[in-house]
Amino acid sequence: MPDRPGIRRPQPLEIIRGAEEAASAEGCRIAVSVVSGEPDTEQWLTRLSTSQTDGVILVLTELSPAYRARLAAMHMPVVIVDPVGQPDPKIPSIGATNWAGGLMATEHLIEIGHRRIGTITGRPSLLCSQARLDGYRAALERKGIPADPALVYSGDFHFEAALVAATDMLKLDAPPTAIFAGSDMQAMGVYEAARLHRLRIPDDLSVVGFDDLPMSGWVSPPLTTIIQPLAPMAAMATRTILALLDGRTDTSSNRVELTTSLVVRASTAPPRKKTAGRGAANAGSAGTRSGRRSREVRSS
């Protein structure tokens, strides 16, 4: 699992819920280990080698070749949920159609009239982050809308970094009229940035998230977002582990992607017609900064 602070965030909790429900239905139990850095990984592998664990589900985890070899030597089934890099073709992996999700989110904003569309992604090293960004870019390209590097930020899927990124974008001379956030937690950072700039959602700024966490329907206004089936992904990983233990799984195709879909709520609307004051009010001392490369912002 991700780092220790991350385990308290909604995405890992949804994944744990899905795995627990699937395991319970089969009369099994799961144990959650949180690994952060090499010392933790070393300790975890040592414990694993002496435990009675039947299988391993790795979530957003990147093991070095040496650690992968040690895990393989234990001869227990392994399934990866949301692999960090290119999935190992020999290891079953479960993901979501992230490219299609990024495409749908951006196409929705284009269809209701937006042309200045910003995006805040996750860490560039994550396969899902890159796929969502590629979907965003593909949607713009399909409609002949030039991609502005000043409207692309790399974050970490968390609130704090998204708040910084959205605040920076909203200070541009030509700020975005809509922002596609790579996670619902990032969308909450965009909401806060809009509040600090005295912008109303969706009147002044439209926002789309990604995940469809329970909170996305509770916030005000309710968040338009991409449904990522986190719990079903974990449930499928759990069932795959059990099938591997029983010798029932066809390993000829080890990569499975579950479908993403768009749910439209109240955080998106057609852009307002330009007024004389908005760009000047938000510009501050930021300058145009158009033409800058995409940049990375992480929360501490």
- What pLDDT, in 10s, does the model give residues 242-253? 999 888 766 667
Q: Phi-psi bin for 60: left (phi > 0), alpha (psi -120 to 50), beta? A: left
- Which residues of the chain are in CATH 3.40.50.2300 domains? 5-95+230-257, 98-228+262-296
Q: Is 74 helix (H, G, I), strand (E, B) or coil?
A: coil
- 261, 297, 300: which is closest to 118 by C-alpha? 297
**How do strand 261-263 and strand 93-96 relate by DSSP bridges?**
unpaired
Reported for 270-274, long-range contacts at CB under 8 A and 24+ positions apart, including other chains, are 270/112, 270/113, 270/114, 271/112, 271/113, 271/114, 271/115, 271/177, 271/178, 271/206, 272/177, 272/203, 272/204
- What pLDDT, in 10s, does the model give residues 271-285? 998 655 444 444 333
d(CA 157, CA 155): 6
Q: Is 238 helix (H, G, I), strand (E, B) or coil?
A: helix
Through-space distance between the first and last CA atoms of the chain, rounded to whole angstroms: 19
C-alpha 253: how far from its chain's center?
24
Would you tell me how many other CB atoms lie within 10 Å of the CB of residue 196? 12
> Is 98-228+262-296 CATH 3.40.50.2300?
yes
Determine the topology of domain 5-95+230-257 in CATH. Rossmann fold (3.40.50)
Tokens at 250, concatenated: 């066809």
H or E element in which residue 210 lies: strand 206-211
Q: Is 80 helix (H, G, I), strand (E, B) or coil?
A: strand
CA angle, residues 132, 37, 126, in degrees to nearest 5: 10
Residue 2: asked if its preceding bond is cis (omega within 30°), the reply is: no
> pLDDT by residue for the chain (300 residues), tens digit each?
444 444 556 788 899 899 999 999 999 988 888 787 778 888 999 999 998 889 999 986 777 788 888 988 998 999 999 877 777 788 899 999 999 999 999 999 999 999 999 999 999 988 899 999 999 999 999 999 999 999 999 999 999 999 999 999 999 999 999 999 999 999 999 999 999 999 999 999 999 999 999 999 999 999 999 999 999 999 999 999 999 988 876 666 788 999 999 999 999 999 998 655 444 444 333 333 344 344 556 554
- 236, 234, 230: which is closest to 249 by C-alpha? 236
